[in-house]
Amino acid sequence: MAYARGMSDMRFDRQMSDAEGLMWRLEKDPHLSSTFGTVTILDRAPDFDSLRRRLEHAVIAVPRLRQRVLPAPANVSPPVWVDDPEFSIDRHLRRIACPKPGTLRQVLDLSSLIVADPFDRTRPLWQFVVIEGMRGGKAALLAKMHHTITDGERGVELSLQYLDFERDAPEPPPPPEPDLVDDDDDDDDDEAPGAADTLFEFVSGSLRLPLGIARQVRELLADPTGLPDATSAAARSFQGVVSQLSDTEQARSPLWTARSLNRRVETARAPFRETKDAAKKLGGTLNTAFLTAAADAAANYHLRLGAPVETLRASMAVSTRTEESGANAFSLVRFLVPTGEMPIDERFRAITEITEAARSSSKNAGLDTLAAVASTLPTSLITRLARQQAQTVDFATSNVKGSPIPMYLAGAQLLEVYPIGPLAGVAFNLTLMSYLGSLDMALHIDTAAVTEPELLGECLGDAFSRLAKV
């Protein structure tokens, strides 16, 4: 197999986008961490030396994997990525053994702890942990990555740098030397932009928002009715952002009111073809089926604990990727989902209408626009605003497409792939990865909110079973 695997089309800019800069700054509040992970179950332990050689190639092909973050002075512009002069693959690739009996539960508990640990911000923001000793000779790979490196969709493409399409794929050749930055084409990577350079960027207009925007944002947050009628696309975008920030209604769940840094991961699997066929029969998509199952599971969780609720507020990650997109290209859509007692096909049709309306209304309040406005505000203010917004959402969802054919990691076949999405202040995040005819899902749960995580996982499985029978 060739080892320059299509990465020429993957663009990684030196400067973070506004959205990436926002995710970076929000982590001043640990509840708003944007770190995500993936637990991959393997049919056997991978050849560790072979995996190490593959990753050595990956960090050459993807410069971002050997770069660290350098913030701008006073956060007046997004951070930049610079080469880590002390980069070592051994700081990012670990190998441990799972104690007996080597269950999936043990692997998930360990993985939730590792994903929750903050990254060393002076190093590249990723870590791989091979977990051996699982029952039946199996093993697992925990891949942990910061969202500023990439989103889920681009992360799947990135994984092709170390995954294979056959078990006995040929060994990669010795890794080439990394490309060096041409001093004539770029500034010194080891130095942050100076105050004079930053001021020049403001004056020259190379930053996206003028200094006066900060005062306007503060005034509009204090009195959103002061925004003039929208007469242009820019005005409508600004109005959408202000409207979103002004929505401070609390989340709807009477049970999921507390928040903490305690985590647990539950998993579920559903058949791809049966679920897709059921969605088509009901006049919708696989993504609608996924959201319906999530809402149905949340509804039955509340019902079984004696606290029925008519609606919950959910958020959904929506890809905005184009050919020109960088490492991250997504937006977040919020909407109320019906969680009262009803047949699952009725819930499906209601959610179809709700999500279509939410997608349309969110066009004027995309993550990039929101982040551009937030870039003018002090970190202390945007973290308070972000926590305030998180308190309006009960749960989050995300759907990532994976491979429909078998994949291999240094001689081991991938059996199951569970993506652990960031919580960012909500009760749980349900993220789905389709792989090899299966929908593999991880419930990333704040246990202060969802006090019966096993019950929620059981309700999710039940929801998919009933969907497949419509």
| Alpha helix segments (H runs only) across 258-378 | 272-281, 286-304, 344-361, 367-374
Is residue 239 in some structural domain?
yes
Is residue 215 in some structural domain?
yes
SS3 335: strand
Q: Is the pLDDT of residue 217 over 90?
A: no
pLDDT of residue 204: 38
pLDDT cut 70: percent of the chain above it: 78
pLDDT digits (tens, 9 = 90+) for 391-444: 899 999 999 989 999 999 999 999 999 999 999 999 999 999 999 999 999 999
Is residue 349 in some structural domain?
no
pLDDT of residue 333: 87
The confidence band for 327, taking pLDDT boundaries of 50, 70 and 90, is confident
pLDDT of residue 156: 86
Q: Which residue has the higher pLDDT, 300 or 27?
A: 300
Q: Is the pLDDT of residue 54 over 60?
A: yes
Rounded-to-integer distance, Cα 351 and Cα 314, Å = 11
Whole-prediction pTM: 0.84
- Kindly state the average pLDDT of the residues 169-192: 58
Residues in the chain: 470
Is residue 240 in some structural domain?
yes
Q: For the ranges 58-67, 123-132, 216-225, 459-468, which has the lowest average pLDDT?
A: 216-225
Q: Which residue has the higher pLDDT, 9 or 73?
A: 73
The confidence band for 382, taking pLDDT boundaries of 50, 70 and 90, is confident
pLDDT of residue 9: 56
pLDDT of residue 35: 95
Is residue 84 in some structural domain?
no
Provide φ and ψ at 446, rounded to 5°: -85, 110
Which residue is it, tokens 């406005």?
373
pLDDT of residue 74: 66
Q: What is the mean pLDDT of the chain?
A: 83
Q: Where are the beta strands (DSSP E) in 205-285?
A: 263-271
- Kindly state the average pLDDT of the residues 230-252: 54
Q: Which residue has the higher pLDDT, 73 or 51?
A: 51
The confidence band for 368, taking pLDDT boundaries of 50, 70 and 90, is low
Rounded-to-integer distance, Cα 221 and Cα 202, Å = 23
Q: Is the pLDDT of residue 181 over 60?
A: no
The confidence band for 19, taking pLDDT boundaries of 50, 70 and 90, is confident
Q: For the ranges 160-169, 183-192, 271-280, which has the lowest average pLDDT?
A: 183-192
Whether the CB-CB separation of 425 and 444 falls below 8 Å is answered with no
Nearest residue to 175 (alpha-carbon basis) of 65, 327, 40: 65
pLDDT cut 90: percent of the chain above it: 59
Q: Is the pLDDT of residue 10 over 80?
A: no
pLDDT digits (tens, 9 = 90+) for 118-136: 999 999 999 999 999 999 9
Q: Where are the beta strands (DSSP E) in 193-329?
A: 263-271, 311-319
Q: Is the pLDDT of residue 18 over 90?
A: no
Rounded-to-integer distance, Cα 99 and Cα 97, Å = 6
Is residue 226 in some structural domain?
yes
Distances in Å between the Cα of 25 and the Cα atoms of 118, 272, 276 are: 13, 37, 39
Is residue 404 in some structural domain?
no
Is residue 437 in some structural domain?
no
Q: Give, in degrees to the nearest 5, the angle at Cα 96 between 92 and 102.
A: 140
Number of domains, the chain: 1
pLDDT of residue 418: 98
Nearest residue to 104 (alpha-carbon basis) of 306, 334, 281, 269: 269
- Kindly state the average pLDDT of the residues 213-219: 46
pLDDT of residue 446: 98
**Domain span at 233:** 208-246
- Kindly state the average pLDDT of the residues 192-207: 40
pLDDT of residue 248: 62
Chain centroid offset of residue 83 CA: 24
Q: Give, in degrees to the nearest 5, the angle at Cα 398 between 392 and 403.
A: 175
pLDDT digits (tens, 9 = 90+) for 123-173: 999 999 999 999 999 999 999 999 999 888 888 888 999 999 999 999 877
Whether the CB-CB separation of 294 and 279 falls below 8 Å is answered with no
DSSP letter for 164, please.
B
Whether the CB-CB separation of 312 and 338 falls below 8 Å is answered with no
